[in-house]
Amino acid sequence: MKTIKAAFFDIKDIEEKYLKENQPADCEFIMIRESLQEGLDKHLDQIKDADIVSVFTTSRAPAETLSKFSNLKMVTTRSTGYNHIDLEYCKQHNIPVVNVPRYGDCTVAEFAFGLLLDVTRKITNAYNDLRNGIINIQEHLGLDLNGKTIGIIGTGAIGTHAIKIANGFCMNILAYDPYPKKELEEKYNVTYVNMDTLYRESDIISIHAPATKENFHMVNDEAFNKMKKGVVIVNTARGEIMDTQALYIALKNGIVAGAGLDVLECEDILNNEDQYLMKVDCIDPNCLSKTLLNHKLLDMPNVIVTPHLAFDSVEAVQRILNTTMDNIKGYLSNNIPNKVN
């Protein structure tokens, strides 16, 4: 039987250990620490004939990159989202793309509230001041979550867990989703409303919607202008859902009091700045302006930014790897699960 070659990119220690221990006998796993773009440049001769390519969201997989694999049979992303992969190219070349539909429901929701507490109680700012020998309690006056109205955009698996946590903080819960869940209304006293009402009445807005074409820049200038002055925004979904320039302006003019962001538009440039600076002519000019705005956000004291790691718990990574292995075994048995194209 022919040995199947699978190239894994964006690999960390915990993933490498798992893959070595669970590699099927008829597979050759090649594990690469770098992103797809950087790893391909370094290891092209070794991996160009790979049957399977496995990436994470920190890798972009456009047609020009995927076309360098002469024997590509499947692309697997170790994430729920797959907007970093050129689905049209894969469809045209009969290459199935598979994902991990669920792995971080509670993981991401918990992290969203970690960001929320950091912003509303100014925890990072207080810690940084204390390290510098500054103690100014009044400067770090915060807000209670108890009794506040939180607007949850998207009540899928992660949004549902966010609602459960909000209920534990005794918050008033508004929600928007095209497909309301009656059980959330009954069990957690959730009120489904339209987007305008959610924007108008929420003290806090937490985004848990998917990155679809319809949701691109859903939170934009028009949306911010409908919000309460002093609203707090949390985004652990996808950067493209929120217009970065509109957020920056809303922060500067005080409509938004603070933001907790685990995702940004064009975040892969921030994650790989040295690599992109070597190829600056290849960067979308729109992404260059977004990157400048991202650096502005990083400098704002009322904004907490983390590098897209809300998913990253020991338990969630284990679920990701288990499902990824199931996807590969499905390919081997001609019964591929979790296809998205």
For the record, the structure tokens of 177 come out as 């989703």
How far apart are alpha carbons 293 and 166 in whole angstroms?
A: 30
Q: Which residues, in sequence order, are CB contacts of 76 under 8 Å at separation 6+?
A: 52, 53, 54, 55, 97, 98, 99, 324, 327, 328
Contact 105, 319 (CB under 8 A): no
259 beta partners? 233, 303
* Distance from C-alpha of 13 to C-alpha of 26, rounded to nearest angstrom: 23
Does the annotation count 267 as an active-site position?
yes
Asked about 217 being catalytic, the answer comes back as no
Quick check: helix, strand or coil at residue 27? strand
- Answer yes or no: 161 catalytic: no
On whether the CB atoms of residues 261 and 232 are closer than 8 A, the answer is no
Amino acid at 91: K
Cα–Cα dist 56/87, whole Å: 15
Rounded-to-integer distance, Cα 85 and Cα 78, Å = 12
Catalytic residue among 267, 273, 295, 315: 267
Give the chain's radius of gyration (CA, Å): 21
Whether residue 310 contacts residue 108, with contact meaning beta carbons closer than 8 Å, is answered with yes
Strands 149-153 and 4-8: unpaired
> Which one is catalytic: 78, 238, 240, 265?
238
Q: Give catalytic residue positions.
A: 238, 267, 308
